[in-house]
Structure 1
Amino acid sequence: MQNKQMQHLMKGAVVLSIASFIAKVLSAVYRIPFQNMVGNTGFYVYQQVYPIYGIGMTFALSGFPVYISKLVAEQVNPEEQTQLLRRSFVLLGIFGAAIFIYLQYQAPKIAGAMADPALTPLIEMVSFMFLLMPFLAVTRGYFQGIFNMVPTAVSQVAEQLVRVVVILVAAWLSLKLHWSVYEMGTWAMSGAFFGGLVATYILLRPAETVFQLKAPHRGAIDFKAYQQLAKRLAIEGGSICLFASLIVLLQLVDSFTVKKGLVLSGLSEELAKNMKGIFDRGQPLVQLGLVVSLAFSSTLIPSLSQARQRRQQYQFQQVAEALIHISLGLSAAATTGLMVLMPQINYFLFGDADGNQALVWYMLSIAIIALINACNSVLQSLDQFHKTTAALIVGLIVKVAINQWLVQHYQIVGASVGTVISLGVVLASILRQSPVIVRQALGLQRFTGKLLAICAVMWLGVKIALQFAPQSLSSRGHAILGTGLGVLVGVLLFGGLALRWQLFSIREWLTMPGGRQLLRLSKKIKGRTK
């Protein structure tokens, strides 16, 4: 019976991982045509308010649902689950309504703090999604708690798809109807609400029977039960939300400090907006760089939980090592590739090579975030939530403290360096508190040293290969040729050296999609060379 439930859980985790992968790709890719249509200033307008949406999205998808699913799984019968869900809905309803009211009334002050009062209607528009957050969070939490991941997966992909369509249509209409960038941004932000409505509709029917179950007692409201649940949602659920919002919270700090710092550095208002838009190009690139490593590593997380539940210490150690190795290895490869190919990628995707230095620095955050996520997965499976929460708070404080000063003195390069420093503080704090198993997995001679050497060779090889590509970035065609050649050389070098120097164990290769075929190919090549 337990094995059957674990198999069901593993299948559900795979479904949710695939849906999350699709949603992340959609969320990253749409920004490229969007920026091409609306330009740097239009992109700046959208990205200034995007972190507020990102925080709401975290609450509704990967923060509160995860914690509510844990609470649902703890209940022994459907009536207790219903009581829990109703109380959660009431508490999150109050929370969502409070955020909505706050954003509606404080939008002018928030826009003023971002040094751009014209952002007010965008903030007011994005606030509407918080009215849908309670229903989305509670229903998704319920289905995940009973190991039915399909409704969450379908609603997640549909929500992102509708939002992306609304954003791109708004960008297209702004060109046709000659809207201002702020009018365009307001309509683009409405995609968050329309996407949430579609997700609500998808979840409504399967959730209807749950919310119509009769409660066991219709007497007085149990204020003590509400108080206890509110405390758990705030402390334990809040810590999950905080970690899931890491990247978005750093972007929120940028929204309040980068444009302001650029103006203080001596740039005009319009040039500061343009520069912030260039800096924001780094966000979809970081998301794309993380997608592959997160998709591969997320398939290992259920195995980690399974080994912990069964108290299989050796198995737990092997899975934890594989999780850390795959996450860091693939993200380091993506980081190296994006850094060395940045001029070509920047021109190919965005039509010019502006802000290359800032974007190169920004790419370093890919490997750091991937390792933070891997370490967090290990710590969460050991029920050590507080360690990552404390580390994140310290990192955010560092970002707030140094960001504007760095931007004022080094412009958008300073903003990128501020992000890398704050993430480095988070990682160092987590590693210092992590169990021995994590530090062993990162052994300098056994893994990290090899990885650094492979990335150095990869960097050099791609640099040499680029000498055979068109040297002038005068067209997107030249940029595409350089990018294609660099990617091909980089993948061959990283894959070949990783196999030759045994960066990953056989078990780790078999975990990765296509790993089995690579091992077979490697054996054939070795057999022919003997």
Structure 2
Amino acid sequence: MQNRQMKRLMAGAWALSVATLIAKVLSAVYRVPFQNMVGDTGFYVYQQVYPLYGIGMTFALSGFPVFISKVVAEAAEPAEQAQVAHRLMVLLSWLAGATFIALELGAGLIATWMGDGDLADLIQTVAFMFLVMPLLATIRGYYQGTYDMTKTAVSQVVEQVVRVAVILLAAWLAGRLGWSVYQMGAIAMSGAFFGGAAALVVIVPAYWRVVATQRFTWPGWAAYRQLAGRLVREGGLIAMFAAMVVLLQLIDSFTVTKGLVAAGVDPAVAKALKGVYDRGQPLVQLGLVVATALSTSLLPGLATAFVQRQQAAFVGTAQRLVRFTQVMAVAATAGLIAIMPAVNWLLFGDTAGTLTLQVYVVAILLVALINADAAILQSSNQFAKAGWALAIGLVVKLVATPPLVRLTGTMGAAAATVLALGVIGLLTHLQLPAPITARRRDHFLAKLGLCTGVMVLVVALTLAWWPLTSRLAALLQSGVGVLVGLVSFIGAASAVRLLSIREVLALPFGRRLLKALRRHRS
């Protein structure tokens, strides 16, 4: 019986991981055709308000469901699991209802704070997403807590497909019907509500069959206060970390355009510049998918080792998680920086803002490292220690962005983001247990720096003679750059033995990779 439950858990975890990957890729990729259809100003309009949706989506997708699944799993009986899920839904409904009212009534004020009063309609449209958030978060958390993750996985994919379809349809209709960028943005933002509603259509019927036979009793205010305290302390912290990048983008929405105008830039030009700056967001999202692709395979083993109190296994797995993340994140970030001119032209039609984007995508490296450290802390029930790190980093971003934007334009906003993430990463890393951060005498960081330098140099020399004249040339440059960079990095890593044999074997398909490397050396 236990073996059957474990198989079900692993199959569900795999389905949820694949669904999350699909959702992340969809959430990043659609922005490219969208920007191509609506231009930099239209992209600015959408991205100014997107963080408000992003916070709600994160709460419903990965923030609160993780906490809810933990609380549900603590309950012994199915009736008790349904009872606690219902109470959490009530609490989230109060939170979401208050947020909806605040956004509807305060949309004009929020838009003014963003420096563009015409954004009010978009903010009011986004508010409707919070009406479906409590149900989505609770039901997904309930099923994850009962080890039935397939329903959550399907609902995630359905939500993203419907949302992206509405957004791209709005962009297409705007071009055909001559809508203003603000009309287009309001319709595009409605995709958040329709996507959530579609996810509910998929997931509610099964949940209704569970709760239809239940009789929920009033537990008293004391029980709700205790549960609300846990929701704020544990669930809020998990949700805030999951929404970390979106929170930094939200600060940009309130500061970048206003900062450019304060520096003397014409408002119309400032909006276009913000749109160019926002090109970095899908690049960071896609980069993070690559940077964390291998390291996430270690997370189940990390949690299992801690639960079973296998200290040596936990430390070893945590060290591999950090090292794999460093390798993948550094390679992905440096490689993207090296081919950024070609990628910018290929995806967005020109090379505007290339230097700013090269600075901005350093966030890939920092966010990947922060997520790895946070996963270790969360697996060992020490996640609360990272809360102050996140708060301090957000304050750094909020304080640093306005003066840096006035001095150096959007480059200042990118630098402020990197600075804030650097602070969060440093403070989070300092919270890790000493055995995990203990230095090893294998000169790992020096080897990683050497491999990265070789890769960047080879890519730069390969592309230096190749002029950018069209999107076809940009496509060829990007493809060749990725291939050359990958081969040169793997070759250098093999030559200096960047990873130990045990670490290579811990990778997915590690045994095959080790055999291939040995054949290459021989």
Question: TM-score range, shorter-chain basis?
Answer: over 0.9
Does structure 1 residue 462 correspond to structure 2 residue 456? no
The Cα shift of 1:49 comes to: 0.4
Name the counterpart of 1:52.
52
Name the counterpart of 2:76.
76
Name the counterpart of 1:258.
256
Q: Distance in 1 between matches of 2:10 and 2:502?
A: 18
Matched AA of 2:372: A
Equivalent pairs counted in the alignment come to 522
Q: Distance in 2 between matches of 1:515 and 1:360?
A: 32
Give the one of 230, 243, 246 matched to 2:244.
Answer: 246
Q: Distance in 2 between matches of 1:294 and 1:19?
A: 15
Q: Distance in 2 between matches of 1:24 and 1:87?
A: 30
Per-residue deviation, residues 221-273 of structure 1 (Å, max 9, x unmatched): 51111111111101111010110010000000000000001111111001000
Contact 2:297-2:508 within 8 A present in 1 as well: no
Name the counterpart of 1:420.
418
Q: Distance in 2 between matches of 1:174 and 1:227?
A: 48
Per-residue deviation, residues 471-499 of structure 1 (Å, max 9, x unmatched): 2x221122122212211110001111222
Name the counterpart of 2:480.
485
Give the one of 303, 306, 315 matched to 2:304.
Answer: 306
Note closer, same or farther for the CA distance 1:444–1:62 as it changes in structure 2 (3 Å cut).
farther
Name the counterpart of 1:409.
407
The Cα shift of 1:46 comes to: 0.3
Name the counterpart of 1:134.
134
Contact 2:114-2:255 within 8 A present in 1 as well: yes
**Paired residue secondary structure (2:430):** helix
Matched AA of 1:42: G
Name the counterpart of 1:327.
325
Name the counterpart of 1:397.
395
Matched AA of 1:497: A
Q: TM-score, structure 2 length as denominator?
A: 0.97
Per-residue deviation, residues 267-326 of structure 1 (Å, max 9, x unmatched): 100100000000000000011110023232222111111111111122112211221122
Name the counterpart of 1:378.
376
The Cα shift of 1:7 comes to: 4.1
The Cα shift of 1:513 comes to: 4.1
Does structure 1 residue 504 correspond to structure 2 residue 502? no
Does structure 1 residue 452 correspond to structure 2 residue 449? yes
Q: Please provide the CA RMSD for this pair.
A: 1.5
Per-residue deviation, residues 348-403 of structure 1 (Å, max 9, x unmatched): 11010000111010111111110100011111111012111110000001000111
Does structure 1 residue 35 correspond to structure 2 residue 30? no
Note closer, same or farther for the CA distance 1:149–1:197 as it changes in structure 2 (3 Å cut).
same
Deviates more, 1:37-46 or 1:326-335: 326-335
Contact 1:13-1:302 within 8 A present in 2 as well: no
The Cα shift of 1:524 comes to: 1.3
**Paired residue secondary structure (1:299):** helix
Per-residue deviation, residues 50-92 of structure 1 (Å, max 9, x unmatched): 0000100111111111001000011011221122111111111
Structure 1 segment 269-284 matched on structure 2, within 5 A: 269-284=267-282
Matched AA of 1:163: R
Structure 1 segment 189-200 matched on structure 2, within 5 A: 189-200=189-200
Contact 2:385-2:431 within 8 A present in 1 as well: yes
Q: Which runs of 5+ in 1 are unaligned?
A: none
Note closer, same or farther for the CA distance 1:312–1:22 as it changes in structure 2 (3 Å cut).
same
Matched AA of 1:335: T
Q: Distance in 2 between matches of 1:516 and 1:181?
A: 53
Note closer, same or farther for the CA distance 1:312–1:3 as it changes in structure 2 (3 Å cut).
farther
Contact 1:79-1:213 within 8 A present in 2 as well: no
Name the counterpart of 2:203.
203
State the identity as a percent: 51
The Cα shift of 1:511 comes to: 4.1
Q: Distance in 2 between matches of 1:443 and 1:206?
A: 51
**Paired residue secondary structure (1:300):** helix
Q: TM-score, structure 1 length as denominator?
A: 0.96
Contact 1:56-1:133 within 8 A present in 2 as well: yes
Name the counterpart of 1:358.
356
**Paired residue secondary structure (1:464):** helix
**Paired residue secondary structure (1:241):** helix
Q: Which runs of 5+ in 2 are unaligned?
A: none
Contact 2:291-2:364 within 8 A present in 1 as well: no
Contact 1:126-1:189 within 8 A present in 2 as well: yes
Q: Distance in 2 between matches of 1:317 and 1:14?
A: 24
Name the counterpart of 1:475.
470
Matched AA of 2:516: L
Q: Distance in 1 between matches of 2:39 and 2:85?
A: 44
Matched AA of 1:196: G
Q: Distance in 2 between matches of 1:87 and 1:331?
A: 40
Q: Distance in 2 between matches of 1:162 and 1:348?
A: 26
Note closer, same or farther for the CA distance 1:444–1:117 as it changes in structure 2 (3 Å cut).
farther
Matched AA of 2:302: L
Name the counterpart of 2:290.
292
Q: Distance in 1 between matches of 2:72 and 2:168?
A: 38
